[in-house]
Chains A and B, each alone.
Chain A
Amino acid sequence: MTTLHLFSRSLLLDAGALDGLSWVGSEDTVLLTGAAVEALRPGSVAAERLARLPAEAALYALAEDVQARRLHPERAVTLIDYPTFVDLSVSCAKVISWT
């Protein structure tokens, strides 16, 4: 049973968001939005935390938040729009919002 883990706070500054990462399973999906996309900044401390994810977990990020921060992710991540955000929340069996 797959779960969509929705992050919107900094993985560096927010303890709850960091805890959330530890709950991501290998069949789960992670979506970064808002300040959480800072974890895609190459070489950042937040990126090191994102590296703790299981290698098999699917990683997505909201495109507008990545573009607003002029990020150029080095790791594999799929950038999505709002309709795809909706589709992800439908295709996963449940959603956990780490807000």
Chain B
Amino acid sequence: MKFAIVVLSPPQAPSARRALRFCEALLAEGHELSRLFLYRDGVHNASHALVSGQDESDLPARWRELIERHQIDAVVCIAAALKRGLLDENEARRYEREGAVNVRAPWQLSGLGQLHEAVQDADRLLCFGGD
């Protein structure tokens, strides 16, 4: 079965960790994660600049590892990202903030249309937000 997953909360929130655990479980069961979409404060999960405490799980690193291992289509909402200071190389150049790049592959910045497409394509859509 095809899943699309939306993460709405930052990596510090338990719900972001739940999203990761759910994705790990669905992939372990042989299902497909057709698109992972970060929206609102969830875009912080794509930050390469985030530094986790030594006794804390590095959620952005765990997302990157999962995405690369399973070749997941991982999209960050570009409008939500720009508002929160998350920039890839193209956007940093466009807005003349060359030193502020903090979003890199495997994540890609794109629009809400990618979420709409994922909803149409997937059998199930689950959103992880809240506490």
Binding site for B on A (CB under 8 A): 6, 8-10, 14, 17, 33-36, 62, 65, 82-83, 85-87, 89-90, 94-95, 97, 99
Contacts and interface: CB of A to CB of B under 8 A. Distances in A.
Contacts of A85: 22, 25
A6 to B, nearest CB: 7
Mostly, the B contact residues are mixed
B128 A97 contact: yes
B29 A86 contact: yes
The 4 nearest A-B residue pairs measured at CB: A99-B129, A8-B130, A97-B127, A35-B131
A8 B15 CA distance: 8
Contacts, number: 63
B22 A8 contact: no
A62 B21 CA distance: 12
A14 B129 CA distance: 12
B70 interface: no
B31 A35 contact: no
Contacts of A14: 130
A8 B131 CA distance: 6
Interface string B96-131: 000000000000000000000000000011111111
Contacts of A35: 130-131
B128 A99 contact: yes
A90 B125 CA distance: 11
A90 B29 CA distance: 11
Contact of A34 (B6, B8, B14, B127): B14
